A and B are shown apart, each in its own frame.
Chain A
Amino acid sequence: MKPRPFDYIRPDTIEEAVALLAEYGEGARILAGGQSLVPMLNLRIVDAEALIDVSRIGALDVIRDRGDTIEVGAAVTQNKLIAWPQLKQKLPLVAAALPHVGHFQTRNKGTVCGSIAHADPSSELPLTLALLGGEVVLKSQRGERMLAANEFQKDMLTTARAPDELIAAVRFPVANGKWIERGVAFREVARRHGDFAIVAVAALAENKNAVRLGVGGMTGKPAVRRIAAKESTAAIAAWADELEGYEDLHASAAMRRDLFRNLAPLAIEEAIRCAA
């Protein structure tokens, strides 16, 4: 199908972009890679009064090493981050998750921030950001604020972004002694390669006895918890019941709980093994 009509505006600077957001308010949508937004426009699931295309704003197309965090700007595509020479060393979990995001062709255009803005409950990058304890940088004419991933994503496809705010960047923390750099794992089950996951699990090894475990696709937003390796089976079973899971076209809640119970031990084992 074809989208319903909308205004198209391509600002040259961040200042122009936030001024346009203030002007249009809730009617505006930010267009960066368009790999989530344009399908929804084409299927007429979403309408927009105006699309503000930020893909050519050079200041947003930047990957910046800030020491404790790596900042990825709103125009940076997923394939640009995959090709960043320091990715495996600085952000090994992101490096493990990114190949699961869509396909080569959609990663060419799809942005890192766009995937986080879309806030699909089983999508890989929001899970990764939540597990790492990352932040979202929001800019508006009122100023700039930082939100922790957990505060940013409220629920299924719902975030704390105000209508006049631009997601200017996201910040992924580097290990920095909080977990073992190489001790990461990412696993998911999807109907077909490149589909959104039904359930996705990510793990960071704190040491050989404990991991931080994140799961997507069980509730409206990613869930994160510390799990001791020793009693992990019981802890995961209890957590799966607590999260309940949800039912949609792809899977029942019971199937999601089952997938989680089966995927989590694999991720925990892999993270601890890689850490050693």
Chain B
Amino acid sequence: MRRVKRNERVRVGLTLNGRKLAAEAEPRTLLCDFLRHALGATGTHVGCEHGVCGACTVLIDGVATRSCLTLAVQAEGREVHTVESLAGPDGTLNPLQQAFRDHHGLQCGFCTPGILMSFTDYLSRNPHASEAEIRDVLSGHLCRCTGYAGIVAAVKDVTKSSP
């Protein structure tokens, strides 16, 4: 049984993008803040902080999750993947990221990390997703620049080229 008192700061360890890391957190520290402020992984963006906008979506054990609705202590011992895990070590964009660039799937880029992580999970389950399925998953994100058409086109492009 793990027990942490309200004002206690404890060491929370997790695997972030393949690297084992640990830092201090209080019970109320949200995972999104832990990633950004304690671990320095600022690719994950924080928007509404109540699970509506989707900007903070990350993968926990491969599953797309709102990191603003997850406590850092809940992710203890888990595998977390953020947008930083997608491009190659030399900065080469992965096919999903490249498709977003090709189809103008982003403008200011604030919402993009979350959308990329959602589709990283979804396309791994359903690589040939239909447009209706893509739009259904995208409904869990808010983008205020693109009008979504470019995002849908980008994801469709990836589904077409997947084996």
A residues adjacent to B (C-beta < 8 A): 1-12, 16, 31, 34-35, 38-39, 41-43, 51, 53, 55, 99, 102-106, 108-109, 192-194
What residues of B have a CB within 8 angstroms of the CB of A3 in the complex?
28, 30
Q: Write the nearest CB–CB distance from B37 to chain A, whole angstroms.
A: 12
A39-B50, A193-B136 known; A2-B3 Cβ under 8 A:
no
Cβ proximity bits B37-75 to A, threshold 8 Å, 1 near / 0 not: 000000000000111001001000001111011110110
B57 contacts A105, CB within 8 Å? yes
CA A99 – CA B140 in complex, angstroms? 12
Interface size on B, residues (CB 8 A): 34
Q: Is the interface of B mostly helix, strand, loop or mixed?
A: mixed
With beta carbons under 8 angstroms apart, the residue of B3, B51, B57 that contacts A39 is B51
With beta carbons under 8 angstroms apart, the residue of B1, B69, B73 that contacts A11 is B1
Which residue of A is nearest B3, CB measured?
A9
CA A193 – CA B6 in complex, angstroms? 37
Which residue of A is nearest B118, CB measured?
A105
Q: Is B150 an interface residue (CB 8 A)?
A: no
Residue among B63, B66, B136 with most chain A CB within 10 A: B66
What residues of A have a CB within 8 angstroms of the CB of B140 in the complex?
102-106, 194
What residues of A have a CB within 8 angstroms of the CB of B73 in the complex?
8, 10, 53
What residues of B have a CB within 8 angstroms of the CB of A34 in the complex?
69-71, 74
A42 contacts B70, CB within 8 Å? no
What residues of B have a CB within 8 angstroms of the CB of A1 in the complex?
49
Q: Is B27 an interface residue (CB 8 A)?
A: yes
CA A261 – CA B70 in complex, angstroms? 40
Residue among A4, A11, A51 with most chain B CB within 10 A: A51
What residues of A have a CB within 8 angstroms of the CB of B27 in the complex?
5-8, 51
Q: Is B19 an interface residue (CB 8 A)?
A: no
Cβ proximity bits B1-40 to A, threshold 8 Å, 1 near / 0 not: 1111111000000000000000000111010010000000
Given contacts A7-B27, A51-B27, 18 further A-B contacts (CB under 8 A): A2-B33, A6-B27, A8-B3, A8-B4, A8-B71, A8-B73, A9-B3, A16-B1, A35-B69, A38-B68, A38-B71, A103-B140, A105-B64, A106-B66, A108-B64, A108-B121, A193-B136, A194-B139
A109 contacts B65, CB within 8 Å? yes
A5 contacts B26, CB within 8 Å? yes
Which residue of B is nearest A109, CB measured?
B65
With beta carbons under 8 angstroms apart, the residue of A2, A8, A108, A194 that contacts B65 is A108
A38 contacts B51, CB within 8 Å? yes
9 smallest beta-carbon distances between A and B, as pairs: A103-B140, A8-B27, A39-B50, A5-B6, A10-B2, A38-B69, A105-B140, A193-B139, A8-B4
Query: What would 12 A/B residue contacts be, using CB atoms closer than 8 Å?
Result: A1-B49, A4-B28, A7-B5, A7-B27, A10-B1, A10-B73, A38-B69, A39-B50, A41-B28, A42-B30, A99-B136, A104-B64
With beta carbons under 8 angstroms apart, the residue of B3, B49, B66, B122 that contacts A7 is B3
Q: Is B137 an interface residue (CB 8 A)?
A: yes
Q: Write the nearest CB–CB distance from B138 to chain A, whole angstroms.
A: 9
CA A43 – CA B49 in complex, angstroms? 8
What residues of B have a CB within 8 angstroms of the CB of A106 in the complex?
51, 66, 69, 140
